[in-house]
Amino acid sequence: MIRLQRVSKVFGEGPARVPALSDITFSVDKGDFAVLTGASGAGKTTLLRLLYRDELPTEGEIEVADFDVTTLRRSEIPQLRRSIGIVFQDAKLLAGRTVFENVAFVLRVLGTPRRDITPKAFAALKAVGLSARAQAYPHQLSQGEAQRASLARAIVKAPALLLADEPTGNLDEQMAGEILGLVKDIWSRGTTIVFATHQARLVTQLKRRTLKLEGGHLVKDEG
Amino acid sequence: MLSFLVGEALRDLRGAGRVGVSAVLLIALSLSALGGFWVFSLNLGRAVDQWRERVRVVGYLKDEPASSKLDELTRQIEAMPGVLRVRYISKADALKALKHSLGGQADVADQLPRNPLPASVEVTPDAETATPEGTRELVRRLQALPEIEEVQGGSQWVEGLAQFRRLFELVGLGVGAVLAAAAILTVTTATTLVLHLRRDEMEIMRLVGASETVIRLPRLLQGMAQGLLAAVVALAVLEVVYALAVPRLEPLLPVTLGLQRAAFLTVPQMLLLMAGGAVLGALGGLLARGRT
């Protein structure tokens, strides 16, 4: 599902040159669950951005869901992203739309037939236990609920790969546990997961393959 | 998908608020100015065409010809290139016409000891020859005839009117272009404002894999909707101004332009104006697109 070969990423040029990732090589098979860990600034977010082609690597090769990300044309990026669901630390819900509309928005944007939108959106909300809050607006949600809505939005298009960038970073222990449980449910249905977190406790709790970054270097790949 | 794109465009239009309204008004102003110039130019063009049909060249004869000589002269002139019709006006006919034009003072002509008016041939050029060059050539040929004393007439003044019309159209286009540029800039500002307000939505759209067309088309549609709305406003303004002005101006038309009635834009011309509005709006949307 994911293959990185000697990937490096440097931001800026000359004296302003900042190496973010150096010589990263690993792969994640279809259906795997990988935890990407490391302190803040270790390069987790940069690595995820390379996977969904928000950034291009300075060196190396990247393959995601059968797409050669490094040589992908601009017009082909949407096709790559349709196979990826993304969740961020801040839920990034659209303020003027209800939870249901936020989830349905993805389907509408992707041209899903009108008759399929409502059942699919409700199925995604049900999967994250948020059906009852479908008509609530983002400002009426708790942080945990907002993150669950964000998860529903990520999975509504049934992606082959889910990238989670610190989705529990703003949550208390109980809420973080709930989100983690939901992500595991999604994984158990066959979705490949890359879960980035700096929280060591979660890493221990997950008991999955762990990729640890330190200063942009991959220092551990175990489990 | 279409309903989504149109829905998003209408949402954008509402989101543009006052700037959006300003854009609509500016496009309407620009199209009203263009339409106003167009209506005037249209009527000027009709006058030019009408006057062009009335171009005559008159050759005054040295002597009133005998009947056999007249037939030969008429045949000779009819054989000249660009001549549509030849009409002979005898000295008596000329005097009759003078009396007719004098109206109540016709008896003045009766005081004359003899008829001083010359016989003449009135030559009507065909459409291709009713130009300054064509009529100049016709005058030259008529002057070369030994029976002809003097030649008068031509189409110089009609061409002057036609040139005035062209100049008028240029001024109209210039004014319209300046206003159109201002309108495009305002639509661009309105669309840019909407893009700024909706940057979160656009980010989400990109992240979930929406194509650039789906992301940008609503902005283009928004600009087009503004342009179309403005065109409707402009046409309504033109119609109202025309309805108010025509009863006051129409009595003057026969004595100035020689027209009996004024004409308004035809349906295809109105549709063209609306298409112009849509294009102006779309251009504004496209320019804003470049800044995202």
For chain A, percent of residues with pLDDT exceeding 90 = 71
pLDDT at residue A154, rounded to an integer: 93
Q: Is B6 on the interface with A (CB under 8 A)?
A: no
Residue A210 predicted with pLDDT over 70: yes
Cα separation, B34 vs B181, in Å, equals: 13
Residue B208 to residue A106, Cβ atoms within 8 A: yes
* β partners of residue A19: A10
Tell the burial category of B251 from Cβ atoms under 10 Å away from its Cβ (0-12, 13-18, 19+): exposed
How far, in Å, CA of A145 to CA of B170, rounded? 64
pLDDT value of residue A132: 93
Confidence of residue A118 (pLDDT cuts 50, 70, 90): very high
Contacts of A78 in chain B (CB under 8 A): 206, 209-212
- At A101 the pLDDT is 94
**ipTM of this complex prediction, to 2 decimal places:** 0.86
CB contact under 8 Å between A92 and B4, yes or no, is: no
Residue partners of A84: CB distance under 8 A and separation at least 6 = A51, A52, A64, A65, A159, A160, A161, A162, A163, B209
Cβ–Cβ under 8 Å, residues B108 and B26: no
Whether the pLDDT of residue B6 is over 80: the answer is: no
Which residues in B lie closer than 8 A to residue A153 (C-beta atoms)?
Answer: 208
pLDDT band per the 50, 70, 90 thresholds, residue B54: confident
Determine whether the interchain pair A81/B207 forms a contact, defined as Cβ–Cβ distance below 8 Å: yes
Alpha-helical regions (H) of A69-109: 77-82, 99-109
Token couple for B37:
């110039």
Following DSSP, what letter does each residue of B93-131 receive, concatenated? HHHHHHHHHHGGGTHHHHTSSS--PPPEEEEEEPTTT-S
**Ramachandran quadrant class, A63 (left: phi over 0; alpha: psi -120 to 50; beta: rest):** beta
Integer CA distances (angstroms), A213 to A38, A199, A205, in order: 5, 13, 19
DSSP A160-181: SEEEEESTTTTS-HHHHHHHHH
Where is average pLDDT lowest: A180-194, B79-93, B180-194, B208-222? B180-194
Structure confidence at residue B291 (pLDDT): 44
Cα dihedral B210, B211, B212, B217, rounded to 10, equals: -90
- What per-residue confidence (pLDDT) applies to B156? 65
| Interface check B241 vs A, CB under 8 A | no
Residue B154: pLDDT band (50, 70, 90) is low
pLDDT in tens, B181-240: 877 787 787 777 777 777 888 889 999 999 888 888 887 888 888 889 989 999 999 999
Give the list of residues 6+ apart from residue A86 with CB closer than 8 angstroms, or none.
Answer: A48, A52, A154, A162, A163, A164, A165, B207
Q: What is the mean pLDDT of residues B29-54?
A: 81
Q: Looking at residue A85, what is its pLDDT?
A: 94
Residue A193: its pLDDT value, please? 95
Domain boundaries, chain A: 2-222
Given a cut of 90, whether residue A81 has pLDDT beyond it is: yes
CA dist., res. A82 & res. B207, Å (int) = 8
**CB contact, 8 Å: B209 with chain A?**
yes
CB contact under 8 A, A109 and B210: yes
- pTM (two decimals): 0.66
Window from A152-161, A165-174, B35-44, B161-170 with minimum mean pLDDT? B161-170
Would you say residue A41 has pLDDT above 90? no
B201, A94: Cβ pair inside 8 Å? Answer: yes
Which pLDDT band, with edges at 50, 70 and 90, does A48 fall under? very high
Q: Is the pLDDT of residue B292 over 60?
A: no
Distances (CA, A) of B190 to B143, B184, B185: 67, 10, 9
What is the fold, at CATH topology level, of the domain defined by B56-154?
A: Alpha-Beta Plaits (3.30.70)
pLDDT band, very low/low/confident/very high, at B247 (cuts 50, 70, 90): confident
Interchain pair B203, A157: CB under 8 A: no
Average pLDDT, chain A: 91
Cross-chain CB nearest to B214 (options A52, A109, A153): A109
As a 3-state breakdown, chain B gives helix, strand, coil percent values, each rounded to 5, of 75, 10, 20
The structural domains of chain B, with segments of one domain joined by +, span 2-51+161-289, 56-154
Split at pLDDT 50, 70, 90, the class of A134 is: very high
**pLDDT band with cut points at 50, 70 and 90 for residue B158:** low
Tokens of A87: 């969740």
- Cross-chain Cβ contact B208/A82 below 8 Å: yes
Mean pLDDT in residue range A90-103:
92
Q: Please check the confidence at residue B157 and state whether its pLDDT lies above 70.
A: no
Q: Which helix (H) or strand (E) holds B148?
A: strand B148-153
Could you say which of B200, B206, B209 has the minimum Cβ distance to residue A110?
B209
State the fold for domain A2-222: Rossmann fold (3.40.50)
Distance from CA of A155 to the nearest CA of B (A): 10
Question: Min CA distance, A167 vs chain B (Å)?
Answer: 16
Average pLDDT over every residue of A179-191: 91
Between the ranges A86-95, B107-116, B151-160, where is the mean pLDDT highest? Answer: A86-95
Nearest CA in chain B to A76: B211
Between A75, A95, A157, which is nearest B208 by CB?
A157
